[in-house]
Amino acid sequence: MENKTDKIKEVVLRKIEEGKIKIKPKIYFIVKGVLIGTGTVLVLASLVYLLSFVFFTMKRTGLVFLPEMGPQGMGIFFSSFPWILIAIAAVFFIILEFSVRKMSFTYRQPMIYSIMTIMVLVIIVGFMISTTPFHRGIMERAERMDLPPMAGEFYRSFNSIDDKMMFPGKIVEIGDQSLTMATPRGDNLMVNITPKTKVKDYKQLKKDDTVFVIGKKLDNTIEAFAIKKIDDSFKDFPRPPKDKDKKILPK
């Protein structure tokens, strides 16, 4: 064993003398470690921010309710989901994985361990941040036009409701086959219930309940595909601008 070690040592020393191997100063490894560590922290923070924003957006716009609202709900969910943010998050995740693999404590660990650890960590932290006032505060500033144009437009574009198919509201009147609800921007909409409308315990709905409706809108009437009672505060939903107000938003 010692002879084999000595031979390896002799070969390495000979290559150093021949200039085939260059000894790098200690400062090189220090700077490299600092750069990798800083880059890893920045990428991790960016990934957590993106995922927390996705969670916040899904809750605020009502996307989180759509999968359980029948085939129409699933269709709207997939067409409205912020896939571009997930794609960007996937890129950050790959970069982060490569950065982490360069750290000594991951050398001997199977890659699947680091992948699962990072995934669980960013999902948990991202979800926790989405429940805090962090994004809500930024969103309120964006709605007041109190952010730089790009940042404000980013928040507004991903946090607007498709007011052609998705309608949150508070019930103000309810009948056997229809209900009237007030929307976040103050409009009253008539919601017609048909035999095809997917709704659980319709008879249990009452005035002042907050509901989320998907359906086809014509003027101030909605032919409901599905209705879901939700526990969220009515004020949590975005207020789509009326037609006369849309001009104030930058394109």
pLDDT in tens, 114-124: 778 888 999 99
pLDDT at 138 > cutoff 50: yes
For the chain, how long is the longest CA-to-CA vector?
A: 93
CATH level 2 (architecture), domain 166-233: Beta Barrel (2.40)
pLDDT at 248: 37
**Which residues are paired to 180 by β-bridges?**
173, 190
Domain residue ranges of the chain, discontinuous segments joined by + = 26-158, 166-233
Q: Residue 239 — very low, low, confident or very high, per pLDDT cuts 50/70/90?
A: low
Q: Which of these, 147, 46, 123, 30, lies nearest to 89 by C-alpha position?
A: 46
Residue 238 clears pLDDT 80, i.e. is over it:
no
Of 113, 115, 137, 112, the residue nearest 52 (C-alpha) = 137
Distance separating alpha carbons of residues 228 and 230, to the nearest angstrom: 6
Q: 150: pLDDT confidence band, cut at 50, 70 and 90?
A: confident
Q: 52-105: per-residue pLDDT in tens?
A: 999 999 988 888 889 988 888 999 899 889 999 999 999 999 988 888 776 655
pLDDT for the residue numbered 246? 43
Helix runs in the chain, H state only: 2-17, 26-61, 70-80, 83-101, 111-130, 133-143, 149-158
pLDDT at 226 over 90: yes
Whole-model pTM over 0.85:
no
